[in-house]
A and B are shown apart, each in its own frame.
Chain A
Amino acid sequence: MVDLQGYDFSSHLHLFHIKGYDMLLDVNSGSIHVLDEQARSFIQELIKADGNWSVAHKEFAAHYDREMGNEVQRELEQAYHEGSMFSLPEDLLSFNYGHAVPKSICLNIAHICNMRCRYCFAEQGSFGQAREIMSQDVARRAVDFLITASGERNNLELDFFGGEPLLNFDVVKETVAYGRERAAVAGKRFNFTLTTNALNLDEEKRNYLIDEGIAIIMSLDGRPEVNDRMRIHPEGAGTYHDIVSRIREMVAMQPVSYFVRGTFTAENLDFSRDFLHLCELGFENISLEPVTGGEPGIALEEEHLFQIMAEYEELAEIIWAREQDNKPVNFFHFNLELNRGPCLPKRITGCGAGIEYLAVTPGGDIYPCHQFIGQSEFKMGNVAEQGLDQSIKDRFAWNTVPHKGCLQCWARFYCGGGCHAAAFFANGDLSKPYQMACAMHKKRLEAAFYLAAKRIGG
């Protein structure tokens, strides 16, 4: 009999019910199981009994056949021997960033914007800083910085971000050419992405992005009235009709990779309708993200969580129905890599901000990530010099799952300890995860597990 006395069930197992399924995540192995009623009930008794099998059997037998309990136990023990049940944690403190080096930058190529989105964390593109665009010189230095700083790493990433990057399109083109040239000499490879509001995504730019194989992320919030309440022109009119045709034209050209990305706020808590709208427009790669911060009325509050949870379930249902209908759609946040996901060290170190991932302002200043731009205590350096502020690096390198009080949370290997920036802006402390984000993340995981169960079992 497997000895479970002292096993920390609440940290190592996650038992949950979603839409008619009883499911169990074995946290440390990443295994996921679908349970029938007897298995669910037996496991509940086992947890209540602190791993004492005889007590669990006794309680179970009050409702079910004793033999049924034996069957469940046999299966649990078999799964245990396969490594997919009651697994134990590894020594997470022994994992760290290892030899991690910067390999990915968010290049804020323009701190100006041609929209005035009401929820913009970049304060209409400027991040509270001067409205400027990046010069070719700074962009080149950023590329050089990354090539040198990335040492042995071969796969480099560069995202053109802003503000609105298409407002500095010549520098985008120059930087791509320069990056490719420098990477070839260094034996490395650049993956370019560009995040745009699509307002200036005209034919010339679309052709360019296709020819260069640049992955593209285009913002659109969903239904016209929802988009137009938030994503507006400087003079206040909505942008939906200007951008939707451009995005559709771009998608029709089949970019190497694309996402249509929307934001939901307290004003569209029924965001599954927006998701549906984006599906109906023919988009197959969609991301809808909770707004970060925002003025009262827009910001997400705890009282909204109940509805948000229900909407995520609804989203899973829509996705499932479309799959049945042979019209699959890829929702970024349910798109878990369940079998070929990252290794444990990567999972516990999280997003890599400040270590592997950096953001660069038009003036060349370096911050741990796009969300920290303009926070002077987080300025790490400038692309004109090699080297980064060691004490800031250390703060981020330390801020991993085992150091953040996340060791009891079942979601710890999927969220990587959560967003540093959300923790900092919500709680004034990098290491205090923002609980709203945690709750939403957990729900998205459950929905993704549920979809996995549906796909396998129908």
Chain B
Amino acid sequence: MAEHRLPKPRVEGSNPFSRSIKLLLYYLKEGDRMSNHIKTIVKPNLKSDKDTNCRECQASCQSACKTSCTVGNQVCNK
């Protein structure tokens, strides 16, 4: 996973001058963030290839939860 970079600060207000100053300060402090508006924290992970659907993983209600379907919590056994 790429190194995390903070989202840029919210630069509110309509005054372009103050906006540019704030952004400039931000870039000075954080380094070059010109290409970092979107930080991916979880990569694509929903899989459905031929090796899936083996059904060896835990049934969702067979755990601490007996009242809501929480498939997203289960761990793939493969």
Chains A and B come from one and the same complex? yes
A-to-B contact residues, CB < 8 Å:
21-22, 24, 26, 28-39, 42, 63, 71-72, 74-76, 79, 82-84, 87, 90, 95, 98-101, 103-104, 106, 153-155, 157, 159, 161, 191, 193, 195, 217, 259, 261, 285, 287, 289-290, 292, 332-333, 335-347, 350-353, 356-357, 369-371, 413-420, 422, 437, 440-441, 445, 452-453, 456-458
A30 and B45 contact, Cβ closer than 8 Å, known pairs A159-B62, A332-B63, A346-B55: yes
A28 and B41 contact, Cβ closer than 8 Å, known pairs A103-B55, A441-B68, A456-B4: no
Check B71 against A414 for contact (C-beta < 8 Å).
yes
Q: Give chain B interface residues in 5-63, CB to chain A under 8 Å.
A: 6-11, 14, 34-48, 52-53, 55-63
Chain A interface, DSSP helix/strand/loop, else mixed: mixed
What number of residue pairs across chains A and B have CB atoms under 8 A from each other? 236
Question: B61 contacts which chain A residues (CB < 8 A)?
Answer: 106, 351, 353, 357, 369-370
In whole angstroms, what is the CA distance A414 to B35 when docked? 31
In whole angstroms, what is the CA distance A437 to B7 when docked? 32
A to B CB contacts below 8 Å, 5 in the list: A36-B8, A72-B37, A342-B76, A356-B59, A456-B41
Question: A193 contacts which chain B residues (CB < 8 A)?
Answer: 62-63
Please classify how large the interface on chain B is, using the bins under 10, 10 to 19, 20 to 34, 35 or more: 35 or more
A350 and B69 contact, Cβ closer than 8 Å, known pairs A28-B46, A343-B52: yes
Check A335 against B53 for contact (C-beta < 8 Å).
no
Check A344 against B52 for contact (C-beta < 8 Å).
yes
In whole angstroms, what is the CA distance A83 to B45 when docked? 10
Check B63 against A415 for contact (C-beta < 8 Å).
no
Question: A74 contacts which chain B residues (CB < 8 A)?
Answer: 35
Check A333 against B70 for contact (C-beta < 8 Å).
yes
